[in-house]
A and B are shown apart, each in its own frame.
Chain A
């Protein structure tokens, strides 16, 4: 059972009536076994930053587009 919780970061984003709450915590768990105390400290897991994915935009089709005005 976690005995020490340090809130690391809390982010609340409200958008379009929805509320997204993101909380990351650091947990310290102390376990007693045969008189010995073992502590486990959870390390913050770093979110891997996603690489940008860029599609292939080679023109598959072409279309006449737009209204032209000269000034």
Chain B
């Protein structure tokens, strides 16, 4: 029986599968889509023939009876960027399914089934889920149930149910599994996604506490855009690619971005401190320094680990902190951790 890891993020969906020679194949796509009315058959036919990458046509799904087509993933982002009148839609918001997108769940189903293509009957799939947020009302349990139903509905090429074995795993815990094997899977995993920051403190692979914060990458874009008077987040989203959090830039947009990062990291570290203090006499004793893994797309800017360590030091956590680790591939870590869990479950 095979194994899959599946990281379902607000901005990226990533699968991980072990290959021979201990390599891992990651399949990734952007979790977004656009809706196109089918009034212009010529446009659709041309779009259908276009390749988004060598050997792969634009992912376009048509529902003739509803007179609508959906373009998904990176292609959708490219079209929305070029055509401002087309709205880029996101099936997930703040780490969970977006209730305002009526078709979000069916689109997510198409995406996930496309990404786990190649799964064999009876394979084991561990999929990432957030913890409920402590700063906003979320329904992580419902989100996890819907994702489970989507995976279980997957079929093979002949239309036969794959009957995949599915298990949810907290996103922060998946990071611990991915990066802290040499520390007996003991440490803190923090996934800074687009919609949420997910945190899990684990000892010997078992979660001690886990929580999430609904203020991450998308929130930084939104707040920094407000601060500089931009109506949309597109400009800030692009500027973030140039951000260096160790530099005191003279550019207003970079200062705004840096300021929001400080706030986000500050809230995250505060939450961890509270979690450790409330568990100090119950479960969270440790005589060894605790390593912290920081990952996720929002942790990508230059200088992020330095800013995080600086705020961590100032906060005086009630534990001895070991290393702060940022994986070399922060986009794939959660999926890899899910895969590790799936392989250990067989």
- Partner-B contacts on A (CB < 8 A): 13, 15, 52, 54-59, 61-71
Contacts and interface: CB of A to CB of B under 8 A. Distances in A.
A65 B75 CA distance: 10
B113 A66 contact: no
B78 interface: no
25 contacts: A54-B145, A54-B146, A55-B146, A55-B149, A56-B153, A57-B105, A57-B106, A59-B113, A59-B155, A61-B61, A61-B110, A62-B114, A63-B61, A63-B72, A64-B57, A64-B59, A65-B59, A66-B27, A66-B28, A66-B73, A66-B114, A68-B27, A69-B27, A70-B19, A70-B25
Given A55-B106, A57-B149, A71 B23 contact: yes
Interface string B247-288: 000000000000000000000000000000000000000000
Contact of B56 (A56, A59, A64, A69): A64
A67 B145 contact: no
Q: Is the interface of B mostly helix, strand, loop or mixed?
A: mixed
B109 A59 contact: yes
Given A57-B153, A58-B153, A66 B115 contact: yes
Nearest to B148: A54
B26 interface: yes
Interface of B: 13, 15, 19, 23-29, 53, 56-57, 59-61, 63, 72-74, 105-106, 109-111, 113-115, 117, 136-137, 142, 145-146, 149-150, 153-155, 329, 332
- The secondary-structure label for the interface of chain A is loop
Contacts of B150: 57
B146 A67 contact: no
A51 B149 CA distance: 15
Given A13-B136, A66-B13, A66-B15, 17 more contacts: A13-B137, A55-B106, A55-B146, A57-B153, A59-B110, A61-B61, A61-B110, A63-B60, A63-B110, A63-B114, A65-B72, A65-B110, A65-B117, A66-B27, A67-B28, A69-B26, A70-B26
B19 A57 contact: no
A54 B110 contact: no
Contacts of A13: 136-137
Contacts of B28: 66-67, 69
Nearest to B151: A57
Nearest to A58: B153
Contacts of B111: 65
A48 to B, nearest CB: 16
Given A54-B145, A57-B106, A63-B59, A68 B26 contact: yes
B19 A65 contact: no
A71 B153 contact: no
Contact of B154 (A15, A59, A63, A68): A59
A32 to B, nearest CB: 44
A57 B29 contact: no
A59 B15 CA distance: 19
A71 B329 contact: yes
A45 B211 CA distance: 31
A70 B153 contact: no
B25 A52 contact: no
B154 A65 contact: no
B29 A65 contact: yes
A23 B74 CA distance: 44
A58 B153 CA distance: 5
Contacts of A68: 25-27
B19 A58 contact: no
A65 B23 CA distance: 21
A-B pairs with the 5 shortest C-beta distances? Answer: A65-B114, A57-B153, A66-B27, A57-B109, A66-B29
A13 B138 CA distance: 12
Contact of B73 (A65, A69, A70, A71): A65
Interface centre among A64, A66, A68 (most CB of B within 10 A): A66
Given A59-B113, A65-B73, A65-B111, A71 B59 contact: no
